[in-house]
Chain A
């Protein structure tokens, strides 16, 4: 056995053994990675998942030997292709980074030098390996062609900011594979991208991995993505690998309570708020440097017994190449729920007066003499207690719609009615109670909360301005609000810096609810949060909705989340409504061809392998939208002349469900039984 295992070991692309890493903060070493051992075979792909702060990126940085100055490997070994990485110094380390390993970061925009042209940065990789100027140019072109960039000559001449996020990431991937590395580390490579672009980038990575026979270490918090990309998964928690095994095994038969909890947090399989609340993982990740002598998960585990507090569990083999670091791995799936499994939605009465009516709301921005039609005539209505989901790629006008509705930017034409009354277009002209009635929870609480104000000050100011409360009544309401969003009362006297991401978002929610709003716009409120925190926030939003009958406009790129929360869904493309209807109808065929493509792009946990429908190119510029149907340039079900010349009307095909497409609904139903033929015209 050992005789067989030894050579396999020597040729592994990456072998990490008992890796421990600490950051030196204020004179003390604080452990971040507490003994990770993993192995990635040649050409294999390995997924590392876990909440933010559990050490994923730190481990990756140690592998490329690029830890921050206060970080240090305190124990263990790292080998890439049999070479001891930790022993490398000077020129050898440089050559190692040049030839053997590459890393792709989450934000491609900041991974490139903004003041150098793409061509120069790409050529540098080849020049370093001894290519002449013209050779480097040729090879740069080839590298860009390999990542399916249609017009490589012009891309080489551009600056990074002149490329879209998806294009930037392709260039970065081209750069990192240019040297044929033994190991490619991808750290959340698609997190900032739209689902459609994400799907293309993931496919590209797979294709290139096979061609370059590179091993891949894929770091992501998105289990759907990991499932699509990796054969093996390691679940990281507080710097320890708590479970490791083949992807299907981990997702289908998880044997560690943390993995079980993580999987339950994700709204999937068409779960909706009226069918049940999401499960959450109570508690918090231990802070870095915390002393964790026994099981690292013990403080959050509902299965924990005395032995879990006393003794560190070993890696129990629980299946073929599947281990779980849990004393009770055989009972992991019996983990009790952290939240009551009760449906949390209220029925909606659409008979009465609509809460909000949008009539042909349009917004055109002017920039350098160009007109940018960000929003082109959107009409919709929303009833009390209802959630309207807004989906679409970035640039589709979701945020513009939200801001126009709130009056932050006045619309160019059209109107917003609240309970039948037309609201003034500008925020400054609206009556205080109308301002209080429409509120928003922003995507990023770090930006939405004033970091110099305490939570108490923020909430009290909102109560003074929006609910007209003073003195003791105001103090009491502030305490009620904090309690309503399930924060401890002592959070009142803290500033945002001292709160976790989820806690900050709770403060933002509490603030939005201060003036008893009728409608709250949620602009991707959970996209910056971990899944367990996301689940808790979604539960909170549903609870608040059912107790206060507040309506939501919920903007998200995560279709699972939108489906969970929304009663009706509007699909936007280039500022136009493409499809509008009840959530269930929109998610079931027949779809609008754009919706169909969006849905097919999302990597799921279920593994029902829907064939992905590739959208040609990227979303066109709103400054110069296509003629006729705005989607015709990318539509996989493109008909011909009519789509290019005539904008289809938004037609109601069944009560409450409308679509903007020249193809009749029955035809779509028939067509969507099979995937569309590929369209090859890639546009820049």
Chain B
């Protein structure tokens, strides 16, 4: 791990002093102890705590939203429609008289069943691709690199709409299952992750442990996945958390333009899409789902920030 240097790269290294280590021998830290220390550093950060609490809240909603929500988000209907927030319905009513609070709570599910899976797919594929490009270099890097550039040149929203429309060919109307969303967002994220991982691998490839592995007759897959991969996990984890935030955003955006859950689903993006024309009439039916998206994205980014800081130290 590199320590921050101020001038000339020659600042004294401040060794990590471990409490309770026997004096006069360098502390022989076990990996477990180091991991625990990293974890402690993350957990102690207030930004992380705030982010984690908010994220956890939405995860609970995604899993058990139906039980938490005071009303049925789809079938319970009250009059008048677009009623103001009241004590009984703190977030008010939507255009067909459903409780907005209940819909917001239950709506977490459709986002949270797609975003993490899509992120996982994108990070896995991207890491593999980045490892290949960085490790082999040369023509492998050139060919894969051009493909990555080509994919990145197409705006995300255009790319995903194109693919989703193509995937719906043959069936009636637009048919977007969660699985398709996962595939599309995951593949759209792959080149971005691949670039980050590639540059991290390039730095690692020049270190002597790589020739040292070759001098043990190790084959390329072992060197890539057992030697280099653990050393680029830092950037990968950081990238994954950042991507997760974007994935939430992407799911909501696609749902807003109609490529996602269909009515009467309480999906956040869909709720906004259905009611944004009436925002002057009933701001609460649009603002609360929007706030839900924002809070989840910001919370995930707070977590990402903390993890990045800890890994950068």
Q: Do A and B come from one complex?
A: yes
Chain A contacts for B214, CB-based, 8 A = 408, 427
Question: Which chain B positions have C-beta within 8 A of A490?
Answer: 28
CB-nearest residue of chain A to B230: A452
Residues of B close to A406: CB separation below 8 A: 211, 215
CB pair A23 B14 closer than 8 Å: yes
Q: Residue B17 contacts which of A25, A439, A442 (CB distance < 8 angstroms)?
A: A25
Whether B212 pairs with A290 at a CB distance below 8 angstroms is no
Range of interface residues on chain A? Answer: 35 or more
**Residue A121 CB within 8 A of the other chain:** no
B173 within 8 A of A: no
The answer to whether A497 and B26 touch (CB under 8 A), given A58-B12, A187-B10, A452-B231, is no
Partner of B231, one of A53, A427, A451: A451
Tell me the residues in window 1-48 of chain B with beta carbons closer than 8 Å to chain A beta carbons: 1, 5-17, 21, 23-31, 34
Task: Note all chain B residues with C-beta closer than 8 A to A55.
Answer: 12
A447 to B26, CA, bound (A): 20
User: When chains A and B are docked, how far (Å) is the Cα of A515 from the Cα of B218?
Assistant: 14
Stretch of A207-215, A460-468, A583-591 at the chain-chain interface: A460-468
Distance between Cα atoms of A488 and B27 in the complex (Å): 12
Q: In chain A, residues 284-308, which have Cβ atoms closer than 8 Å to a Cβ of chain B?
A: 284, 286-290, 299
Instruction: Tell whether A413 is near chain B: CB-to-CB under 8 Å.
Output: no
**CB of B207 closer than 8 Å to a CB of A:** yes
Residue pair A447, B8 in contact (C-beta under 8 Å): no
Inside 8 A of B216's CB, which chain A residues have their CB?
A: 435, 461-462, 465-466, 515
In the assembled complex, B172 has its CB within 8 A of some CB on chain A: no
User: Given A107, A450, A500, which contacts B26 in the complex, CB threshold below 8 Å?
Assistant: A500
CB distance from A513 to the nearest CB of B (A): 13
B313 at the A/B interface (Cβ < 8 Å)?
Answer: no
Q: A408-B214, A447-B208 are in contact. Are A299 and B8 (CB under 8 A)?
A: no
- In the complex, which of the residues A25, A106, A439, A488 contacts B215, with contact meaning CB atoms closer than 8 Å? A439
Whole-angstrom CA separation of A461 from B207 in the bound complex: 18
- Give the shortest distance, in Å, between A29 (CB) and chain B (any CB): 12
Contact call A290/B23, Cβ cutoff below 8 A? yes
Which residues 195-213 of B have a CB within 8 angstroms of A? 207-209, 211-212
Cross-interface CB contact of A111 among B8, B31, B230, B231, cutoff 8 Å? B8
Query: Could you tell me the distance in whole angstroms from the C-beta of B34 to the nearest C-beta in chain A?
Result: 7
Which residue from chain B places its CB closest to the CB of A69 in the assembled complex? B6
B227 interface hit (Cβ, 8 Å): yes
Q: Are B14 and A70 in contact (CB under 8 A)?
A: yes
Residue contact B31 to A495, C-beta cutoff 8 Å: yes
Q: Select B209's contact among A61, A403, A448, beta carbons within 8 Å.
A: A448
In chain B, residues 206-247, which have Cβ atoms closer than 8 Å to a Cβ of chain A? 207-209, 211-212, 214-218, 227, 230-231, 233
Interface status of A164 (Cβ within 8 A of chain B): no
B167 to chain A, nearest CB (A): 39
B290 CB, nearest partner CB in chain A, Å: 41
**Chain A residues within 8 Å of B7, by CB:** 66, 105, 111
Q: A432-B217, A462-B216 are in contact. Are A448 and B14 (CB under 8 A)?
A: no
Across the interface, name the chain B residue whose C-beta is closest to A488: B28
A283 within 8 A of B: yes
A284 vs B7: C-alpha distance when bound (angstroms): 28
Cα–Cα, bound, A409→B185 (Å): 42
Interface digits, A15-49 against B, CB 8 Å rule (1 contact, 0 not)? 00000000101100010100000000000000000
Q: What's the Cα separation between A439 and B57 when bound, in Å?
A: 55
Residue of B at shortest CB range from A106?
B10
Q: Does A471 contact B (CB under 8 A)?
A: no
Chain B residues in 8 Å Cβ range of A432: 217
A669 to B198, CA, bound (A): 58
Query: Cα distance A449–B227 when bound, in Å?
Result: 10
The residue that A511 contacts in the complex, of B1, B21, B29, B212, with Cβ under 8 A, is B212
Chain A residues 425-450 with CB under 8 Å of chain B are 427, 432, 435, 438-440, 442, 444, 447-450
Residues of A165-192 whose CB lies within 8 A of B: 187-188
On chain A, the residues within 8 Å of B14 by CB distance are 23, 25, 68, 70, 288
Partner of A442, one of B10, B12, B23, B208: B208
B26 near A440 with CB under 8 A, answer no
Is B6 within 8 A of A68, CB to CB? yes
A82-119 contacts to B (CB < 8 Å): 105-107, 110-111
Contact B11 A494 (CB under 8 A): no
- Please tell me if A259 contacts chain B, counting CB pairs below 8 Å: no
- Give Cα A499 to B31, complex, Å: 12
Tell whether A454 is near chain B: CB-to-CB under 8 Å: yes
Least Cβ distance of B221 to chain A in Å? Answer: 14
Smallest beta-carbon distance B224→chain A, Å: 13
Q: Is there an interface contact between B17 and A284, defined as CB atoms closer than 8 Å?
A: no
Once the chains bind, are B231 and A447 in contact (CB under 8 Å)?
no
Question: What is the CB-to-nearest-CB distance from B264 to chain A, in angstroms, rounded to a whole number?
Answer: 50
How does the 8 Å CB contact mask read for A472-489 relative to B, with 1 for contact and 0 for none?
A: 000000000000000010
CB distance from A101 to the nearest CB of B (A): 14
Chain A residues engaging chain B, CB cutoff 8 angstroms: 23, 25-26, 30, 32, 53, 55, 57-58, 61, 66, 68, 70, 105-107, 110-111, 187-188, 283-284, 286-290, 299, 403, 406, 408, 427, 432, 435, 438-440, 442, 444, 447-454, 461-462, 465-466, 488, 490-491, 493-495, 497-500, 503, 511, 515
* Chain B residues proximal to chain A, CB less than 8 Å: 1, 5-17, 21, 23-31, 34, 207-209, 211-212, 214-218, 227, 230-231, 233
The 4 closest A-B pairs by CB, nearest first: A105-B8, A498-B29, A452-B230, A448-B208
- 9 more CB-based (< 8 A) A-B contacts, given A57-B12, A450-B230, A498-B26: A53-B12, A111-B7, A187-B10, A284-B26, A288-B15, A406-B211, A465-B217, A493-B31, A499-B28
- Can you give 15 contacting A-B residue pairs, CB < 8 Å? A30-B17, A53-B12, A61-B11, A68-B14, A107-B8, A288-B15, A299-B24, A406-B215, A408-B211, A435-B215, A439-B215, A440-B212, A444-B208, A462-B216, A465-B217
